[in-house]
Amino acid sequence: MDTDSRSKKTQCIEDLRRRVLTEALEPGVYLDETELSEIYGISRPPLREVLRQLAGEGYVVLHENRGAQVAPMTHKTMRNFFVAAPMIYAATTRLAAEHATPAQIVKLKECQWAFRQAIKSGDAAERALGNERFHSIIGDMADNEYLTPSLRRLLIDHTRIGMTFYNPRKLALAQQRELAADQHDQFIDLIEAGDADAAAALAVAHWELSRAQIESFVTPESMTIPLGRAPGATETRGAS
Amino acid sequence: MDTDSRSKKTQCIEDLRRRVLTEALEPGVYLDETELSEIYGISRPPLREVLRQLAGEGYVVLHENRGAQVAPMTHKTMRNFFVAAPMIYAATTRLAAEHATPAQIVKLKECQWAFRQAIKSGDAAERALGNERFHSIIGDMADNEYLTPSLRRLLIDHTRIGMTFYNPRKLALAQQRELAADQHDQFIDLIEAGDADAAAALAVAHWELSRAQIESFVTPESMTIPLGRAPGATETRGAS
DNA sequence: TAAATCTTGACTGTAGACAATATGTATTTT
DNA sequence: AAAATACATATTGTCTACAGTCAAGATTTA
């Protein structure tokens, strides 16, 4: 093992990913190269490489002569998300059941264990990151370089949405989170059994649960929505 | 308009993309930073940013302390390609028919005109690039940031495969290329009409045609295959 | 007072020089 | 003679310094 486990640059990438996913860096926020380079103890050229990579992964958007912006979330983004998610989730999960290796299954189980710990602790960020990691591993199992890029992008925004709409006090949501965790166990069983059809069906069910949670916020039970985020609203920070 | 139309860096990116797509830079080849920076008249730091971006887009793969490699094409790559292509093509084409703007349709028609010119000229590279551009525009029409990344990756390898298996002397293939061009016209009509179902169906048919062409090379009519490319063969250049 | 222009400042973009790591070759030792 | 180690070379990774560009603020004029 290395002394610092991994290079500063790698740490920088991973930390920025984490901050975007947990919305410590909010969607639409602009990043200052000089500031970030000082924070992570590297100079600007390598930091710029990092930002370019994160742009390729969909975490940030680059604007010429105006720097990097944390990928914004607009109402159009949400609509597109709802269209693409079930298809990609079902497809990748199916392939995961067909191709998963024993080593990957071990990794998935470890991840699920950590995920349940995070739920108990009640830490929203850890829970969201744990969930992201779980589905990311399923993406690795699918082992299809053409589908992975789309899955990764979906997971970024799915995680951010999950952070936005997290509410530890609402009992119904706590129960749904428990149900989601149970579904994760089912994922493991079906993937281990190689049951592709059932795994794909579970992926759709898992998505439906998540969708219901999200929609319960967008359309609250019987409350009028405090507008300003309604369809047609402008995005967080207009660009160009 | 600028004097040089666009910055050196942008020219560099576009030229490298082109070279990868046309296989002027063959899959698996390693790139020399110093050499490239001299060719494009920029220094190494910005060139490294370019390579990081191209890595994000799937044109190249970065290896730590070993530089950038043109994305390799292995037999696994091909298998994954066959799995993902019909799904993504059908989905994006459907969305394109639903969302295309008049301006985009004009652009698509211009692209198709150029594509037919390229076919007449018999220039394999121009033909392949024209086809790539056509489907890329359809991807723009779909306007779904979650599906676009997968589509772009598919198009990269679809284009490269098309270059590999191009054969101007084989009559059957020339006829198939004509048919493909005719299908492009149908794409335009269906997208303009907003007929999502028919467009999606056409996408599948278009894919099947392309697949048949590819398979006619992998499995030639009645010749024994000179082995060495059979399943289980090692990839172009092993890494790490 | 309001609008338009100019100036200033801050941040992005680039270049050239230096440091570190990996590979290949040559030499030495068994 | 063969294998292992050490050195040399080439290439990647990084830093400091400078140039270019955009945006905001202040000043001037109508």
User: What number of other Cβ atoms are within 10 A of residue A70's Cβ?
Assistant: 24
Distance between CA atoms of residues B228 and B75, nearest Å: 12
- Displacement of CA A78 from its chain's centroid (Å): 14
3-state secondary structure of A68: strand
The model's pTM is 0.88
Q: Give the residue nearest to nucleotide D13 (CA to C1').
A: B65
According to DSSP, the β-strands at B67-70 and B60-63 are antiparallel
What are the φ/ψ torsions at residue B62 (nearest 5 degrees)?
A: -100, 135
Return the amino acid letter for B164. T
Residues 58-87 of A with CB under 7 A from strand D: 65-66
Q: Determine whether the interchain pair A58/B149 forms a contact, defined as Cβ–Cβ distance below 8 Å.
A: yes
Residue A186: pLDDT over 60? yes
Q: What angle do CA B129, B198, B165 make, to 5 degrees?
A: 30
Per-residue pLDDT tens digits for A132-145: 999 999 999 999 99
**For chain A, where do the domains classified as CATH 1.10.10.10 start and end?**
8-70
What are the φ/ψ torsions at residue A169 (nearest 5 degrees)?
A: -90, -20
Q: Residue B166's pLDDT is what?
A: 86
Which spans in A62-147 are helix H? 75-99, 102-121, 124-142
B contact test, residue of A146, A153, A235 with most B CBs within 10 A: A146
Residue B4: pLDDT over 60? no
Choose among B45, B145, B153: nearest Cβ to A45.
B45
**For chain B, where do the domains classified as CATH 1.20.120.530 start and end?**
75-218
Return the amino acid letter for A97. A
Q: Residue B219's pLDDT is what?
A: 65
Beta bridge partners of A68: A31, A62
Distance between CA atoms of residues B143 and B91, nearest Å: 12
- Residue B221 pLDDT grade (very low, low, confident, very high; cuts 50, 70, 90): low
For the domain B75-218, what is the CATH superfamily, name and number? GntR ligand-binding domain-like (1.20.120.530)
User: What number of other Cβ atoms are within 10 A of residue B222's Cβ?
Assistant: 5
Torsion-angle region of B224 (φ positive above 0: left; ψ -120 to 50: alpha; else: beta): beta
Per-residue pLDDT tens digits for B72-104: 999 899 999 999 999 999 999 999 999 999 999
Q: Residue A170's pLDDT is what?
A: 86
Distance between CA atoms of residues A25 and A71, nearest Å: 10
User: Which of strand C's nucleotides are less than 7 A from any protein C-beta?
Assistant: 11-17, 21-23
According to DSSP, the β-strands at B60-63 and B30-31 are unpaired
Structure-derived torsion over alpha carbons of residues B182, B185, B187, B189, reported in degrees to the nearest 10: -140
Share of chain B above pLDDT 90, in %: 77
According to DSSP, the β-strands at A30-31 and B60-63 are unpaired
Residue A189: pLDDT over 90? yes
* Residue A144 CA distance to nucleotide D14 C1' (Å): 34
- Displacement of CA B177 from its chain's centroid (Å): 16
Per-residue pLDDT tens digits for A154-178: 999 999 999 998 888 888 888 999 9
How many angstroms separate the CA of residue A117 from the nearest CA in chain B?
A: 30
Q: Residue B192's pLDDT is what?
A: 97
B8-70 placed in CATH 3.40.50.720: no
Per-residue pLDDT tens digits for B151-194: 999 999 999 999 998 888 888 888 999 999 999 999 999 999 99
3-state secondary structure of A225: coil
